[in-house]
Each structure stands twice: as C-alpha cells, then as structure tokens.
Amino acid sequence: MVLDSAGNLYVSNSDSITVYAPGATGNAAPIRTISGASTGLSNPLGVAVDSAGHLYVANILGSSITMYALGATGNVAPLRTVSGARTGLSRPGGIALDYSGNLYVSNIKNNSITVYAARRPY
C-alpha cells in the first residue's frame, strides 16, 4: 500500500486496487476501485505513486508493471505496461519511485532489483 500526496491510501488486493480517502478508518468504503479485464491487473502486489499522481502496480502473476492515470477508476486500461522477456521482470513484488522518478522493482522469482530510468513526459 502507498499514500499519495493528497493522503489517499492505495491498497493492492488479489484482483484489484482500492483507494481510500485521507483519514479513512474502520469499515470504510473505497472512494475508487480499479478492477476488471481491461486493467491488466494480474495478482497485483506492490503499488507506488509518482509526483504527478500516476499509479504504478507490480503484477506478480503477469510479471508486469502497469501504470494508470491520475484518478483512474473502474475497468480502465493502463496508460503503459512493461512486460516481456527483455524487461528483467520475474514475478515483481515490491515497487518504489525515487525523487527523480526512477522506478525500482523487486523480483521475487530471481531475487533481483530491476531499475527503470525516469521517463518524461508522461
């Protein structure tokens, strides 16, 4: 899970990403949910949010990283997907961004870290 700059909480679930309002506690309903066949989510595990509000998701079963627009909700297609043999991804789990926008991904299957350089503009 991760907080964005507004305090929204993003949580990965077995087949979706739920977003909770700042300060939500107890049995709170999500303010947004990303789920469905168009999302490319495949057992999402790690989540990160960049300074522009884009959401990055590490999909462990699909060995992919999907990126969604600010405020994405529903059965929405990702803006970008990173996957394939040349990416170095191997069951990605954890994901983080540094202040420069570089993306760090921990790979569970081969115990490695994959780093992607910041790419602008989005």
Alpha carbon separation from 19 to 23, 72, 81, 82, 86 (Å, rounded): 12, 10, 20, 23, 32
**Assigned domain for 49 exists:** yes
Distance CA 77, CA 38 (A): 5
Report yes or no on whether pTM surpasses 0.75.
yes
**Assigned domain for 3 exists:** no
Cβ contacts of residue 14 below 8 Å, gap of 6+? 43
Q: Which two tokens stand for residue 35?
A: 């789920």
Range of the domain at 82: 36-116
**Domain containing residue 76: CATH number:** 2.40.10.500
**Assigned domain for 93 exists:** yes
**Assigned domain for 109 exists:** yes
Cα-Cα end-to-end distance for the chain: 23
pLDDT, tens digit (0-9, with 9 covering 90-100), for 42-65 = 999 999 999 899 999 999 998 999
**Assigned domain for 10 exists:** no
The pair phi, psi for residue 76, each rounded to 5°, is -100, 140
**Assigned domain for 61 exists:** yes
Supply angle C-alpha 79, 49, 3, rounded to 5.
140
What per-residue confidence (pLDDT) applies to 122? Answer: 47
What per-residue confidence (pLDDT) applies to 62? Answer: 87
**Assigned domain for 54 exists:** yes
Number of structural domains (the chain) is 1
What per-residue confidence (pLDDT) applies to 55? Answer: 96
What per-residue confidence (pLDDT) applies to 120? Answer: 57
**Assigned domain for 86 exists:** yes
Q: Are strands 112-116 and 92-97 parallel, antiparallel or unpaired?
A: unpaired
